[in-house]
Structure 1
Amino acid sequence: MDYKKPAEVIALMIQAGTDKGRLGTTDLFIRGALSGMLLGIGTTLAVTGSVQTGIPIVGALLFPICFVVVVLMGLELVTGSFALLPAAYFHKNLPMPVLLRNLAVVYGANLFGSLLYAFLFWASVTGFGQTHASPLIPAIIKIAEAKTTGYAQLGGAGIATAFTKGILCNWMVSMGVVLALTSSSTIGKILAAWIPVFMFFAQGFEHAVVNMFLIPEGILLGAPVTVNDWWLYNQIPVTLGNIVGALLFTAGALYLTYGRKKQATAAPENAHATAVPELQNQMV
């Protein structure tokens, strides 16, 4: 059967985190940069769908396309690594220095890719600053303001809100990574990854890598938002929330209930043979 049981999935999580720890800096950076760009493309696709139809849920249905591409191509998205690497660490397969190095490189690569796409999209939508007629421009500016100065108006409560939305977001995003492991077929992986990512986007939760593109893009398009606003009221608290969500509700909870059991630690007889090619197709 195509479906893998939870204990098998957690064993695959552990192996995926272990394999990620073996990747060199060049591979991590290239795959991370591509992931940042792809999430930017997914975000502009979602905004386009929402603006053209006037129905926000359409954007939420479209956004997971980018996530699926990242999963199927085995790219590196730090929000998924926030779950996979700790699972390997809990199992004593990955030392802490390697975990921290991996996350730092991928975070930086995601940021680089997001900013690169932000420039490319700005150039395409404004004709290198010559026109601002696109209906996407005010929509992106409005979102960028809501994600920064909107929280700033609430003071400490705004920062706490961004942090909380970060937790809820990456619980779902990291579950998308895990659910993709429940299937060995392409269609199965697509559907399994799509569901939780749609759930996070539809409810307006906060994803650190999406915001690495969306807020700088808003600034480029003229939003009255500063770099300080971006990092203080969104990027830092959202990143911390994403870490907590993946660590507690995905890596920690699932490892405690499945990872310590013999059926999870002792993979099936052909697990190593099937896990390696499959895990090469797992991002995040």
Structure 2
Amino acid sequence: MSYNEPRIFVEKIIDVGEEKIFINPRILMIRAFMAGAILAIAAVFAITVGVQTGFPIVGAVLFPVGFCMLYLMGFDLVTGIFVLAPLAWIDRRPHVTLSGVVKAITITFIGNFLGALLVAFLTSVIFTYGFSAPVNHVGEVIANIGKNRTVGYKEHGMGGMMTIFIRGVLCNWMVSLGVVGAMVSTSVSGKVIAMWMPIMLFFAMTFEHSVVNMYLFPTALILGGDFSILDYLIWNEIPVVIGNLVGGLALTGLPLFAAHMRSADIKETYSRAPSVNTSAYERDML
């Protein structure tokens, strides 16, 4: 069967998280750079399709193609590292330290940002014919997204800040389900299906993804979006990053760890103590 039992794939998640912590920083940076660039291309593709068809939902349906490509190529998004690396530390893997977790997250974040920034510049050239013509319609849409999802939040004060944070939480709940869902299957088609569904959902619901935003907002600024870099950082990127971290770890990583790794420990304890008298119901529950 091309299916891993939950106990198996959760252990695999922790193994992968441990690998991210100890991998050569230069290699991790390259993987992160490519992941940021590919996700940026997928974002502009989805927006372009939505503009061309007049139906943004079509773009949302197609957006996961970028996520699937970067995952199958073995590239890394910081939103995935938010879940994988901390679990290796929580599982008390040998030599895994909190500083190692922070280092892996930091390197991946920087790599994602640089990759997305490169695509932001390249697509801005396309949208303006090398900055020699007015911004085309897709560029105008991106510029408006930048304004609406920074200044638009700012206008609502703490209510806007709370909205950004919650959208970030819900976003990486879905994205991290895509990451771990891909580990459920051992076939390419199964991995793609498992990734496609939650990624499509987050994009259609306009939740806030820190790496997608690393493309959208710099592009909007390059194209003359009516907001500042400070607006972008305070009223989008920083609260979104925090929300992504909380959502991925609290709603995906920790529940899976508690439900499957801890239950496996309980089973192992009981298997080593056959003299313990348990009812048939209790044995079934174990």
- Tell me the TM-score normalised to structure 2 length: 0.90
Name stretches of at least 5 consecutive residues in structure 2 with no aligned partner: 269-286
Deviation at 1:157, TM superposition (A): 1.2
Matches within 5 A, 1:91-240: 91-93=91-93, 94-132=96-134, 134-240=136-242
Secondary structure of the corresponding residue to residue 42 of structure 2: helix
Q: Distance in 2 between matches of 1:62 and 1:90?
A: 35
In the other structure, the counterpart of 2:276 is none
Identity of aligned residues (%): 38
* Cα 1:161–1:176 shift into 2, 3 Å: same
In the other structure, the counterpart of 1:83 is 83
Give 1 or 2 for the bigger CA radius of gyration: 2
Contact 1:7 1:263 in 2 (8 A): no
Secondary structure of the corresponding residue to residue 75 of structure 2: coil
Q: Distance in 2 between matches of 1:177 and 1:264?
A: 27
Contact 2:117 2:218 in 1 (8 A): yes
After superposition, the CA RMSD in angstroms is: 1.5
Output the amino acid matched with 2:208.
E
Q: Distance in 1 between matches of 2:267 and 2:71?
A: 24
In the other structure, the counterpart of 2:54 is 54
Q: Which has the higher contact order (CA 8 A, sep 6+)?
A: 1
Q: Residues 167-214 of structure 1, C-alpha deviation per residue, up to 9 Å, x if partnerless?
A: 000000001000000111111111111110001111010000000110
* Cα 1:265–1:197 shift into 2, 3 Å: farther
Q: Distance in 1 between matches of 2:54 and 2:22?
A: 45
Name stretches of at least 5 consecutive residues in structure 1 with no aligned partner: 267-284
Q: Residues 78-108 of structure 1, C-alpha deviation per residue, up to 9 Å, x if partnerless?
A: 0011111122111111221111100011001
Q: Distance in 2 between matches of 1:210 and 1:147?
A: 13
Contact 2:164 2:236 in 1 (8 A): yes
Stretches of 4+ aligned residues off by more than 6 angstroms: 263-266
